[in-house]
Every structure is written in C-alpha cells, then in structure tokens.
Structure 1
Amino acid sequence: MAAPLTPLVLLLALGRPGLSGAQATEGAAAAPHRRFEYKYSFKGPHLVQADGTVPFWVHTGNAIPSADQIRITTSLKSQKGSVWTKNKSIFEYWEVEVTFRVTGRGRIGADGLAIWFTEEQGLEGPVFGAADKWNGVGIFFDSFDNDGKKNNPGVIVVGNNGKLLYDHQNDGSTQALASCQRDFRNKPYPVRVKITYYQKTLTVLINNGFTPDKEDYEFCAKVEDMVLPSQGYFGISAATGGLADDHDVLSFLTFQLTEPGKEAPTADAEIPQKDKEKYQEEFEHFQQELDKKKEEFQREHPDVQGQPGKLFELFFTDDVFETESDRELRQIFEGQNRIHLEIKQLNRQLDMILDEQRKYVSTVTEEIAKRGAGFPGQHGQVSQQEIETVVKTQEEVIRQVKEMRSSITDALRSISGAQHPGSAGVYETTQHFNDIKEHLHIVKRDIEHLVQRNTPSSEKQKCPELPPFPSCLSTVHFFIFVAVQTVLFIGYVMYRSQQEAAAKKFF
C-alpha cells in the first residue's frame, strides 16, 4: 500500500511552505529559561519519609501519602484532602507539570480535583477540599454536573482576589476566566497537566491519558493579562460528595521561568547560611549512620567480604535481567509506536497540504475570472478550456490527497490493532520514508534548474500580486511542472512494477 503513495507525496510536498530561519530563531530566542525547583515538587518512588511526611510539603484532611503517590481522597463519600508546599515561592514566573489519576466504578464521579497557586495555604474548605476566598488562581477539574448543562467533566480556571465566593451551583461558569471540556476519569494512562504562568499569561495544556507519550499535550485554556501574587503556595486538593472517586497524584513538578537575557539566580544564593549548616549537619549524621550499617552488614555476612560476585548474587536474581522473548516484544512495540507517530505526523501534514490546495484553487479561479472580465480583448488571454483544465487538475489532486489520507488512516488503524507485527515492516517503512526524501530532493533540484534555464536573465516575469502567495507562477511554468510530475509518476510506476515482477521470481 505504501508504494502508490510516494509520487503524491513528491508532488504535493513541493508546494508546502517551510518555516523561515528567522521565525525559528525568533521562537527559540523567546523561550524562557526553565529551572527545576525541588522544594516545590514531589515524585515517587520513595516519596514518603519514615515519619509519614513528604519533604517540603504538608498534607491535611483525608490525604494519604505512599511510596509512589499521594491519594488526596479515597472513593468514599464526603471526603476532603489537600497537599501544600511548606514555603512560599520566591520566583515571579513558573510552570508546573502535574500527573494524576481520577478513577471510580460509577459512570459519573464527584466532586473533583483542584490545582492551586494562592497567597496563603487553603488547608481545608468547601472548594474541592480547599478554602474559599483565596487570593490567586485555581484550576478545577470538576467531575460532577451541578448545573445540569452536561458540560462535565471539565477544566475551569477561576481567579480570585480574596473576596469572591465560589459558585458551586453553576460549576463556576459565572466566574470562569477560561475553560475546556475534557474527560479525565478512568483513563488507561495517567492524565498530565502543564500549567504555565509567564509574562502575565496563564496557559493550561492537558494530556488526556489515551497515549503513553508524555509530551502529547493539547491546548485547553489561556488567560491573558492575569496578575497573580508575586509569592505564593502551590497546592492540590480534592473532595467527594454523594458520589466518590479515588483522586491520586503521582507527581507535582515545579519549574522557575526566567525571561531571556536575565540571569537566573544560583541555587547557593537562595539558601540561607543557617539552612546550609543544617543540611551539612544532616549529611554528616547520615554518613555516620551509613558507616554503621556497613559494619553491621559485614559482621552478619563475613562470607561475602572481598567477593563482589557473591554479594551480587545475594541481592539480585535472574528476574532482573530481560529475557530474549521480552526483548523481542519490547522491540516490536517500540517499532510499532514509531510507525504510529510517523503516520500520525504525515496525516497532519496532509491536512495542511489539502487546505493549501483548496486555497490555491479558489485564488487561481478568482484571479483568472477577474482577468477575463476586466480585459476581454487582451492578447494572450487564457481560454475557458485552459481554466477548466487547471481547475480539473487541482480537483484531481485534492481527490487523490483525500484517498491518500483515507489510506493512511486505514494503515494507522491496522498498525494500532496488530497483535503480532513483524520486524520487516519497520525496516520497509523507514526505507520508504528515506526514498521519499531522496526523490523529493531530486525533483526540487530539477525543477529549479528548469525554471532558471527558461527564464531570461535580463527580463523577469511579472505577475499580479496575489495576497496568499509569496511568488508568481506563469501558465507555461505551471504546465511544465505538471508535465514533469506526470513523467516522474509514470516512470516511478513502471520502475516499481519491474521491481515487484523481479521480486516475485524469488518466491
């Protein structure tokens, strides 16, 4: 199925505009500097200390920390819990990445989960387990439809200056600064949320948990000209009502954002001298405890001293190593996932090319119609037959692109549902994309050489300015381009037929 698609990709990829180097440089230069802040973050494993606390965080209500996650509320009625940073943030702009699961047996869950940045800790209260009248912002993942508008589960961004009471009856719709409707309950993978506050703009991106790709985020909400406290506490809370869900938070990662050109403060400069002395004392105490443990172990196991092999066998078994069958299955799954991503990217590119072709057909038809109406006796006027030929050609291109998109969708569906794929498919697909790139470069070079040879050096073609296009294209060059592409298509089909016929001799 992949062989007939190659000429169309070569034909359509030439007309696709690329991103200029200046735009790419400008976008990269505008990106802020990110620095991980461990005092405002948590992530498993080994999340909880021996006394049941989470370092740099405080939990209240029904929250239960464990080794790899924090269960904010269990699936019982009328539960409330929250987790907050112990210290206020000392940076102006920030980004948080939160990974959580909301699971329940019922078709409908309640009440929901909230991510906070507030001037004071809202340890307990009626708003998803946290205090009302907060000064800051709350991003609410509301599971229950209180107003009966069938717009839940949803994500709502609500700001507050410390005087506003949350409107529970209307699910905060009268106070929402931005919102989107997303179902985050009972997903096969954890749901991921990225919240960015940079230059007074709050952006919420969400990964719905349908794919293992951690960076597959979708746009959810954006609030501009938003003023938040310069220092505040990060928190996450949840609550249940008559219905109940398990609300589990797997990680909460915080990053400090620094504007380009500004020097990010060093970590040592932010630690007071008293804290440095405290940390040094704790480190020395830990070192002493470690030495004691080593001595105890040597006394209990005198037979393994000086023999690293026995020590390794004592703590590790054969289960640690990957078997040959497990390795083959992992390689097949990774190859299948790469094919899935490549076809998904190609599908997006085909959508863009299809839109460009539609705009091109519309603009060319309107421009030719204007020329025919404005200059009926002009020499060299394009005939009606030529106009129909151009339009039919473009319609044929659009039809082939639609067929190509349908074929790629079928391929994506078949690859996703394959149970025992072979390793040869991965190699053929990679080789196919390499052939596409190679033929694309050859066609581009031939077309540029042909246009340069046919255009006089002393006189340049001038065409009417068309708003959507960066350059003009004469009718002669267009038909030359179509002819060259037709010859390449026929040659490629004949070449593939010969290759397939030759290959059949070996079977």
Structure 2
Amino acid sequence: MYFITIISFVCIIFINLTFEQGPGSFEVREHSLSRPYANVFATSHSYWQLTGNTLVTDRYIRLTSDAQSKAGGLWNTVPVSYSDWEMHVSFKVHGGGTTLFGDGFVIWYVRDPKLTGTYKTYLKSPVFGYADNFNGLAIIMDTYSNRIDNYNHIYPYISTGTKDYSPVFGYADHFNGLAIIMDTYSNRIDNYNHIYPYISAVINNGSLHYDHDRDGADLNIAGCEAAFRGRDIDTLVAIRYQNNRLTVSTDIDGENTWKECFSIDNIQLPTYYYFGFSAATGELSDNHDIISVHTYQLDLSEQRQKEDRKNIIPSAPSAHMGQIDDDTAKTSKWSTLKIFLLVLLLIILCLSGIGAFYYMKQHRYHSSRLY
C-alpha cells in the first residue's frame, strides 16, 4: 500500500516536471485533484464531490464501471474566478469489449454543477450523464458512434455500390451492375468523416439541443481523432483557455509531449463556472477512470485584467457551429420562399381570373346595348 502511494507520488511529480507550464502560471489547489484520494474526500469541506455510481479506490476515481446502465460524476465545488486557465487530466478508458464498447466521458466547464440526484437521474440525462441545454463548455471524449447510419470511416475509402448511386463519378445514374468506388473525399454536408475514439468541443448558451443520436455533430465546433481507449500507458489531455482561444492537446503515446488536437479563436467563456466530469453507459459499457487533475491559473494582460467576464454568455464563432445548421437554415429559408412565391402566384392567378371574368361580363353588356 505504501509502495503504491510512493510510486504514485513520484509519477505525479514526473508529469508536472515534464509538462512545464512556463512562466506566468501556477497550480490552483482548489481545482486540482491527485492521489492519495483519501485526503481529498476526508472532510465535508472537500473541493470535489462524487455523484451517481462513481467510486474511489487508491488508484483511480471510476465514473462508471464496465457494466450496463451506470452513470456517475465528479464535480468541483469551487467556481473558477480567473478567466484564463489550463487543465491537465490523466485518465484511462478501458474495458472487456473489443468491438462494441462505450460511450466515453465529458470534461465540463459549466454554470450548473450537477451535485444532487440519484444515479437514475444521471442515467436519464442525455449528454453523458449531464443535462441537455447546458451553459458552458463540454470537451467530449467519445468512444462510440451513435449515428444510425454508422458513418464512421475516414477517407480515402473503398466501397461497393449496386444501384441508385447518384452521381456516379462520370457514369450514368441508376446503373445496372456492380461498382467498386475508390472515393477520396466526403461529400457529406456535415463532413462527418472521422473515426472513434474522437475528442470534440461543444459550446452551449442553454438554448441548443444536444442530439445524442447524432453525437452532437451539429454542435461540435472542433475535434480530432485520438485513440486513447485501451492504452497500457498513461493517457492525458490538456485544455487551455487563454485570451479567448481554446486549445486541446493530448499525450496518448507515452512520449511526454503534447500533440495539438485543435485550437479555436473567439471562444467566449465567463468566469465563475465549475469544472466537472461525467460518464454514462447504456447497452454498451466501459470503465471511465479519472487519475489526476491539475489546473493552472494563467497570467493575464492588463487589458484582460480589466474585463468583467462574470456575465458573459458562452459562445463560439458561427462559422464553427456546424454546417448542418447552416444548410438546414438555407433549406428552410428556400422552402419558405417557395411557399411564398407559390401563394403569390395563386393570388395573381385568382385576381387575373376575376379580372378576366369581370372584363368579359362588361364586354357582353356593352355589346348587347349596341343591338
């Protein structure tokens, strides 16, 4: 027991020394978490709270075990008062499934931490054990595609087609026979051409619905493929928010270096939101473990220090909010325009008919008077 504790302590020091924060940052104890966990949850004034089926051992905090219909969470009870921060999370996702497993977990920065309720309450929550229409940021560590069309391959991609494939690369539509299609580009309007596991970011101001059956594809502002499941080495993710720029990086290959997943400018996040983690299993399951959390406050520029960010509404650039919404909106506008033009045409035809009828009636009246 003591040997494991000493080894864990050495590993944590090694990770902190390896991934240097550089000048202008320091770790915030209230928003960090590491072994031994007994010291973290020993008092009623703990900075972290467990919810649902979450359990604690001397080696990990398990949000869900590898069993069906489980849901759990780990929530920080202290709001984040500083605007720029960086979080390093050591985690492990693993289980007995080789081809079917899921669903993943989420790292949250939200207005409302989910501190109460039974595991059944969390299980009914549609976004990995958390509520829909949330306010804040979700970094989704997704391991399974819920899309009903199972469109989870990347390009180039070889497929077969037998009929009703339109258009067919310079050949006739509705052909008879077999086609082996050597496709190099996805023409899907949502550009949904990634494989799982997949890391994505979602910003919500409380008004947007997360479609679980589409893996939130219409809300994702950025993402990358990351094979973090089932690794025998430490897997880490870093989330950095500084000067309205959100950057997510990973170290899942044991190289002790960060590899950028994505980086987006013009992300608006308020202060005094809460960090948290949640996961839920359905018919598929996995172990979702949090090993450690290290959160750093970053130095601010003079202009940044003067900003009052407490009442900022979470937002992301509209260009990153998903092409599905844009195309749907265009289709909706075009449909409305067509209906309007059709109604206008019918009105014109009716008025023309009435006018023609009145003209013919008057013409017959004047003609009868001449005789």
Report TM bin, short chain.
0.5 to 0.7
Matched, 1:110 2:128: no
The 1:68–1:196 alpha-carbon spacing in structure 2 relative to 1, beyond 3 Å, is same
Equivalent residues in 2 for 1:66-465 (5 A)?
66-107=57-98, 108-123=100-115, 124=122, 125-147=125-147, 148-150=150-152, 151-208=195-252, 210-211=253-254, 213=255, 215-259=256-300
Aligned Cα root-mean-square deviation (Å):
2.3
Q: Any idea what SS the aligned residue of 1:188 has? A: coil
Q: Residue 47 of structure 1 contacts residue 54 of structure 1 at CA under 8 Å; is this kept in 2?
A: no
Task: Provide structure 2 residue ranges, at least 5 long, that are not aligned to the other structure.
Answer: 1-21, 116-121, 153-194, 306-371
Q: Which has the higher contact order (CA 8 A, sep 6+)?
A: 2
Larger radius of gyration: 1
The 1:263–1:155 alpha-carbon spacing in structure 2 relative to 1, beyond 3 Å, is closer
* Whole-angstrom distance in 2 between the partners of 1:260 and 1:229: 17
The 1:74–1:53 alpha-carbon spacing in structure 2 relative to 1, beyond 3 Å, is farther
**How far is 1:69 from its partner?**
2.0
**TM-score, normalising length: structure 1:** 0.43
**How far is 1:198 from its partner?**
0.2
* Whole-angstrom distance in 1 between the partners of 2:23 and 2:207: 33
Q: Any idea what SS the aligned residue of 2:293 has? A: strand
Q: Residue 47 of structure 1 contacts residue 68 of structure 1 at CA under 8 Å; is this kept in 2?
A: no
The number of residue pairs the alignment matches comes to: 232
Runs of 4+ with deviation above 6 angstroms: 261-264
* Whole-angstrom distance in 1 between the partners of 2:34 and 2:42: 17
Q: Residue 59 of structure 2 contacts residue 291 of structure 2 at CA under 8 Å; is this kept in 1?
A: yes
Task: Provide structure 1 residue ranges, at least 5 long, that are not aligned to the other structure.
Answer: 1-30, 265-507
Amino acid at match of 2:286: D
Q: Any idea what SS the aligned residue of 1:195 has? A: strand
Amino acid at match of 1:227: Q
Identical pairs, percent: 33
Report Cα offsets for 1:257-300 as digits up to 9, x if no partner. 11256999xxxxxxxxxxxxxxxxxxxxxxxxxxxxxxxxxxxx
Amino acid at match of 2:142: D
**How far is 1:71 from its partner?**
0.6
Q: Residue 33 of structure 1 contacts residue 260 of structure 1 at CA under 8 Å; is this kept in 2?
A: no
Report Cα offsets for 1:301-337 as digits up to 9, x if no partner. xxxxxxxxxxxxxxxxxxxxxxxxxxxxxxxxxxxxx
2:342 aligned partner = none
**How far is 1:196 from its partner?**
0.2
**How far is 1:153 from its partner?**
1.3
More helix by share: 1
The 1:143–1:261 alpha-carbon spacing in structure 2 relative to 1, beyond 3 Å, is same
* Whole-angstrom distance in 2 between the partners of 1:173 and 1:231: 28
Q: Residue 138 of structure 1 contacts residue 158 of structure 1 at CA under 8 Å; is this kept in 2?
A: yes
